[in-house]
Amino acid sequence: MTQAPQTVALHLSQREIVSVISGLMLAMFLASLDQTIVATSLPTMAQDLNGWSLMSWVVSAYLVASTVTTPIYGRLSDLYGRRQVLLASIAIFVAASVFSAMSQTMLQLIGARALQGIGGGGLRSVSQAAVADVIPPRERGRYQGYFSSVMAISNLLGPVLGGFFADYLSWHWIFWINLPFGVLALVLCNRNLRRLPRPRRKPVIDWLGAALIVASTTPILIGVSRVESAGGWAQLNVLLPIAIGLVFAAGLLVHEREAREPMIPLRLFANRIFAVGTAISFTNSMVMIALIILVPLDFELVAGLSANDAGIRLIPMTGGTVLGSFIAGQLVTRTGRYRIFPIIGAVAMTVICAAIAFFGLSRSLLLGTALTGGLGLAFGLQLSPVAVSVQNALELADNGIGLSVMMFFRLIGGALGVALLTAILVSDLSAGAAMVPGHSVLGGNPGIALLHLDEAHSVSPSLLAALANVLHAAFARVFLYATAISALTAIGSFGLKEISLRTS
């Protein structure tokens, strides 16, 4: 096992810090925005490029590539320095945006999106690690709150901007817009990160470890992404890639135990704060990402709102996440305490999910707004304090890979949470709809048909009224499962050890 190398502490003025953070936040914004901006314009892309059967891969290609490369970028930034690796990832991202905008076929677009995801993985992980290089842990909560707010805002703006470009300009502008922002991020990061010290030793890269990360994570994510379309987990095209990924994951663990400079140092998990922080980030992300997708569906199917109105009703959750993260970050900086905030957030998340399962979101506008806003606050209270606790617990030279691994598990958790809770919803909808007369118009899998009512024009209002109890019961069960996952997060949060935040 190798020991973490020591690095030199860096001291910057407040003006220099603001300049550095502005470039890093812009890089983070680009990576997060491009994960959601294409969602509302997928039908337009598919129609223009005649690629309906491959439509979902425009999103999946970016998600898989950015997730797989996240820990790799973190390790490379520890070995080569933040500035060099971040500039390379921005350059890849911008070039891939040009290729995406110029795509003439769906396969070209998917390939360009995969390349864009390779760049996006570095934007996310290295920008977070660079914060740890310039901000002491005692002050870091405030800045982590800013970064969490950027992610939440990008999740809100992405679908809105994507729909605007597709309706009023062209879907190509979804990618052209990255050029001015990408160039600006490149200039800011190149100028502002020059003072960051480069590692003094010759880097040794664990290429086999990197290959095993790709070989294990990619099929697992592909299998998980197929759960909804397959109608459940017990399908060969779901289980086979997941099984292949698990075999490679076992090989990765064996290799990393013996590697001279492992791509994912397993010694990090011997650090209790890192292990607990990563675990609760995983389960919190399972709930948060899944509900960002399923709450608007609840408003559409149970309350009968339009897609646009359902999106507007999601604003309290997104705004609550921004506010909660900002408040928690400020309080961590002022008090030097971080453990209490994930505990409060996870307990509140558990209680609110249970309340939504019992009351529902469509009983009244006030109640629905209060519940979704409270849920967003609960999410936000957990984001920045957990990141600060992990950064503070690791050696400075391990911050890149440590944060990247935590972010990697957070992304995997989000994908798994979406697949798990969506599969439960589809299963319950299918079983309940089968008991309603006239359900045959929904096809062989009524659960999936109900999730895509915009494509099922034959569904009459009378049938939807007859399915009201089925819809309500199915979503209530989903929130009960979310409650159980949230309870696990709360239990884990109590195991997060508190140590003094470093002031340098």
Tens-place pLDDT, residues 74-92: 888 877 777 888 888 889 9
* Cβ-count burial 419-453 (b if 16+ within 10 Å, e if not): bbbbbbbbbbbbebbeeeeebeebeebbbbbbbee
Note whether residue 502 is domain-resident.
no
> Residue 490 has what pLDDT?
94
Which pLDDT does position 3 carry in this prediction? 43
Q: Given 259, 284, 303, which residue is the final one in a domain?
A: 259
Ramachandran quadrant class, 197 (left: phi over 0; alpha: psi -120 to 50; beta: rest): beta
- Are residues 218 and 332 located together in one domain of the fold? no
> Do 166 and 239 reside in the same domain of the chain?
no
pLDDT of 390: 84
Q: How far apart are CA 441 and CA 351, in angstroms?
A: 38
Last residue in a domain, options 217, 240, 259: 259
pLDDT at 1: 42
Query: Which residues in the chain show pLDDT less than 70?
Result: 1-14, 16, 35-36, 39-40, 42-43, 52-56, 137-142, 144-145, 155-156, 159, 163, 166-167, 197-203, 228-232, 307-308, 397, 436-462, 501-504
Q: Looking at the structure, tell me whether residues 174 and 251 fall in a common domain.
A: no
Asked if residue 57 is part of any domain, the answer here is yes
Closest by CA to 422, choosing from 230, 246, 239, 240, is 230
Structural domain contains residue 6 = no
399 occurs within a structural domain: yes
Is residue 324 situated within a structural domain?
Answer: yes
* Segment 110-162, tens digit of pLDDT: 888 889 888 888 887 787 777 777 777 666 666 766 777 777 777 667 767 77
Is position 5 within any domain?
Answer: no
Residues 401 and 337 in one domain: yes
Whole-prediction pTM value?
0.79
Alpha-carbon span 349 to 330, nearest angstrom: 21
Same-domain check for residues 117 and 174: yes
Distances (CA, A) of 110 to 181, 238, 358: 22, 21, 41
Per the structure, the complete domain to which residue 229 belongs is given by 207-259
- At residue 203, what are phi and psi to the nearest 5 degrees? -70, 140
Residues 190 and 248 in one domain: no
- CATH code for position 164: 1.20.1250.20
Q: Tell whether 125 and 254 lie within a shared domain.
A: no
Do 418 and 390 reside in the same domain of the chain? Answer: yes
Residues 241 and 371 in one domain: no
**Number of domains composing the chain:** 2
Last residue of some domain: 219, 235, 259?
259
Burial 18-48 (b: 16+ CB within 10 A, else e): eebbbbbbbbbbbbbbbbbbbebbbebbbeb
The confidence score (pLDDT) of residue 5 equals 41
Residue 469 in any domain: the answer is: no
Domain-embedded: residue 276? yes
pLDDT of residue 356: 92
Does residue 228 share a domain with residue 194?
A: no
Q: Do 147 and 85 sit in the same domain of this protein?
A: yes
Cα distances from 327 to residues 33, 315, 341, 377, in angstroms, run: 23, 18, 10, 9
Confidence (pLDDT) at 7: 44
Token pair, residue 2, equals: 């190798």
Q: For position 458, what pLDDT does the model report?
A: 60
92 lies in the same domain as 130:
yes
